[in-house]
Amino acid sequence: MDKQLESILCVLKEKDNFVVVTHSNPDGDAIGSAFALFYLLKKLKKRCRIFCSDPVPENFKFLSERPSKEIAGEGIFELANTHEKNLDAFKNSLVSGAEKNFDDFKSSLASSAKKNLDAFKNSLVSGAQKSLDILENNLVIGVDIADKNLLGESLESLLNVDISIDHHHSSKNFATFTFLDELASATCEIIYEIANSFGLIDAKIATCIYTGIMTDTGSFRYSNVTPKTHRIIAELLEKGANNKIVNKNVFENKSKEQMKLHGFILESLDFFCDQRCAMISITSRMLLKSGASAEDTHCFSHIPRQIKGVLVGITVREEKENLYKVSLRTEDPIDAASICEKFGGGGHVNAAGCVIAQTLEKVKEMILSEVRKALDDN
């Protein structure tokens, strides 16, 4: 047995209380990994919570439905409360008493040095008495996180990650122990190895893992797919993974507002570098005109690269004024991760991202400059 895997299994057996965290703006692999590990730990009779800076995207909520009475009353996606409360109400609950709004809470982070640590921790969740147990007595496992700054501001400064389980070749050693498999098509492939070693993969866990692998491989179209990937998928289907409900929710669950947004995005399409690079933009104005939400923007990054002859597809998405998330999708031999790393980001060879704090035009100029160099060198 692989020594990394053996070490993880020992920890999961020996410890009783866990917190699972994943990156902000969680994708299918992040959601699938977190929930598969959560359900596995519950089968092992462990206590577990999941923390994330952002809510579960609409098309992945089918994985987070409140399960059976064995975990009733316990939060699942605690910071992303996907159940009774909406996000605005949840943000207001982050400070005890809920008298302050979320902006007040963020301001308090900067002045936290004036407060003692106990008071600060108690302000993070409603029901402040839970905080110390959550933050001090649990082992924290990060899944699908290449760098601690990807946790988002509400978690990055708060948590120290004990174990990182990841497959990104740009992964940083920010955790005490890192289980890294760069050959895995998705973090969910690694979670499969863990769960399978316990012999505890049921239909629910299989569906979570299937979701992560399917989405991170572009429905098995990307170069990260291996024979092992297909063997794992076959075994997941044999164990009851519901591929029909996964594909229905992920690909056939678009709102009218999202379709309107799609039209505005296509109008922004532009070409560079002798048609070898295509770029789309997603702005706050587009969201306003279409009625779509920021959550509706996560399924468009594949569009530019799908065009014949394009080697580099760029998606520039406005997060807030003068702050943009850039997603790169590339064909070989262009290394998307190496380009994004120049801006503090990272990812995979053919899929990576970064965040740039500049005006939209400046962001485009900066990323295109690096893309041109990469294309010229190849």
Residue 78 pLDDT: 55
Interstrand relation of 277-282 and 270-272 (parallel, antiparallel or unpaired): antiparallel
Residue 1 pLDDT: 63
Angle at 137 between CA 114 and CA 180, to 5 degrees: 100
Which pair of structure tokens corresponds to residue 189? 């492939």
280: β partners: 315
Residue 149 pLDDT: 87
Q: Give how far Cα 142 sits from Cα of 22, 149, 153, 250, 295, Å.
A: 6, 12, 15, 24, 22
Phi, psi of 40 (to 5 degrees): -65, -45
Residue 71 pLDDT: 33
Residue 3 pLDDT: 87
Residue 90 pLDDT: 36
Domain boundaries, the chain: 3-248, 256-377
pLDDT in tens, the chain (378 residues): 688 899 999 999 999 999 999 998 899 999 999 999 999 999 999 999 999 988 888 899 999 865 433 332 334 555 433 333 333 443 344 333 434 444 554 454 444 444 444 444 444 444 334 444 455 679 999 999 999 988 987 788 778 899 999 999 888 889 999 999 999 999 999 999 999 999 999 999 999 999 999 999 999 998 899 999 999 999 999 999 999 999 999 998 889 999 999 999 999 999 999 999 999 999 999 999 999 998 888 889 999 999 999 999 999 999 999 999 999 999 999 999 999 999 998 888 899 999 999 999 999 999 999 999 999 998
- CATH 3.10.310.30 matches 256-377: yes
Q: What is the DSSP letter of 150?
A: G
- Judge contact between 370 and 337, C-beta under 8 A: no
For every residue of 45-100, DSSP letters joined together read T-EEEEE-SSPPPGGGGGGSS---GGGTTS-SBSTT--SSS-HHHHHHHTSTTS-S
CATH T-level topology, domain 3-248: inorganic pyrophosphatase (n-terminal core) (3.90.1640)
Nearest residue to 25 (alpha-carbon basis) of 246, 317, 362: 317
CA 203, CA 142: separation in Å to the nearest integer? 23
Task: Return the H-helix or E-strand segment holding 314.
Answer: strand 312-320
**Cα-Cα-Cα-Cα dihedral sign, residues 102, 107, 110, 112:** negative
CA 5, CA 181: separation in Å to the nearest integer? 10
